[in-house]
Chains A and B, each alone.
Chain A
């Protein structure tokens, strides 16, 4: 075996370089950035609890979509006894007034591109 030392040293340097982001993050905590989402100022109940919404809002929206469009069931009563419309633009964006500072911040961070907005109109969209 020739150059064992060099090869091992080279491998070590290589490993160090490719894991650099992890070391950097451990040292500074900077890469652990999570997006800041704008919460509604007046603390009202969400249609489901926040943990569920964070993980499954897209599933709920799909269910709502089918209930509204296919079954004509536009309204539901929440566990808090409140009646709500199953509507992305009216109900969700009624509280989370800014699509940019709520939906987009997380979606851009995660690299997801939901196509809701191809058709549905966000409240602040400037009118031509």
Chain B
């Protein structure tokens, strides 16, 4: 308990030096899946593969609505540093032509070109951020595909920030606490030196609540559901019209779909 991240790193460094010639293996005490686990008060929302569909047209029609961002950042204690250099983002808007730079046609519809499109972590099926994380602080949950983060373990190496092709991850360069206008006591803050991103509201799903952004969107532009369930809302939306994903050629298999 008394060893913080910094001290841990120092000790780890010294240990590595000391045993440079040998190999040290540390058996981590892993707790076997717990059989005493009981059901939570309201049944959790579960899926085989969570996915989101963003209806760009509805978002476009809503003008400069930022309800999703505000709701998400409030419930997750996302700080506002007031400058783009230190900015922490979970879900935010980017102009269409930047979000889909690889889909740009010469005569793209004017209204679409500069329209703000909500972007967030795509919870990729093949997430490069997970592959590079040296500490296992970020991983893909096998049960439902959510790309999770364990802020207790993140050492702030920022490999994942470099690996994510979508800029979905933000690094805490400074202590975020003083920059949170209204603390949400139910959710932790982060500390300096930790990376953060959208977690598909896994803490809300576990309590049977929908995503904060989906709940906040009055224009019903965001839909969340199980991609493996043919009767789900997301599948219906994907069936009925054309949807694109960000930078599909990279093979990351994003699970946020954009309906045009």
Contacts and interface: CB of A to CB of B under 8 A. Distances in A.
Interface string A80-116: 0001010001100000000000000000000011110
Interface stretch (A10-18, A23-31, A33-41, A61-69): A61-69
Contacts of A123: 185
B2 A125 contact: no
Contact of B190 (A58, A67, A70, A119): A119
Contact of A113 (B2, B143, B183, B206): B2
Nearest to B206: A74
Majority secondary structure of chain A interface residues (helix, strand, loop or mixed): mixed
A76 interface: yes
Contacts of A71: 31, 33-34
A72 B206 contact: yes
Contact of A125 (B31, B33, B183): B183
Majority secondary structure of chain B interface residues (helix, strand, loop or mixed): loop
B37 A70 contact: no
A123 B185 CA distance: 7
Interface in B21-50: 30-31, 33-34, 36-40
B38 A83 contact: yes
Contacts of B143: 72
Contacts of A73: 33-34, 37
B100 interface: no
A75 interface: yes
B2 A114 contact: yes
Contacts of B30: 66
A84 to B, nearest CB: 9
B40 A75 contact: yes
Contacts of B4: 115
Say which size band chain A's interface belongs to.
20 to 34
Contacts of B80: none
A58 B178 CA distance: 27
Interface residues of B, number: 32
Given A63-B31, A125-B183, A127-B182, A69 B37 contact: no
Nearest to A62: B1
Contacts of A125: 183, 185
A49 interface: no
A121 B183 contact: yes
Contacts of B1: 58, 62, 112, 114-115
B202 interface: yes
A118 B194 CA distance: 12
Contact of A89 (B31, B36, B141, B185): B185
B151 interface: yes
B189 interface: yes
A51 B178 CA distance: 37
Q: Which of B2, B4, B183, B191 neighbours the largest number of chain A CB atoms within 10 Å of its CB?
A: B2
Given A69-B152, A74-B40, A115-B1, 12 more contacts: A69-B150, A71-B31, A72-B141, A76-B36, A76-B37, A77-B36, A83-B38, A119-B188, A119-B191, A120-B188, A121-B188, A127-B182
25 contacts: A66-B30, A67-B31, A70-B150, A73-B33, A73-B34, A75-B37, A75-B39, A76-B34, A76-B37, A76-B38, A77-B36, A83-B38, A83-B39, A89-B185, A112-B2, A114-B1, A119-B189, A119-B191, A121-B185, A121-B188, A121-B189, A123-B185, A127-B182, A128-B178, A128-B181
Interchain residue pairs A-B with the least CB separation, the first 8: A119-B188, A58-B1, A83-B38, A118-B191, A73-B37, A121-B185, A75-B38, A73-B34
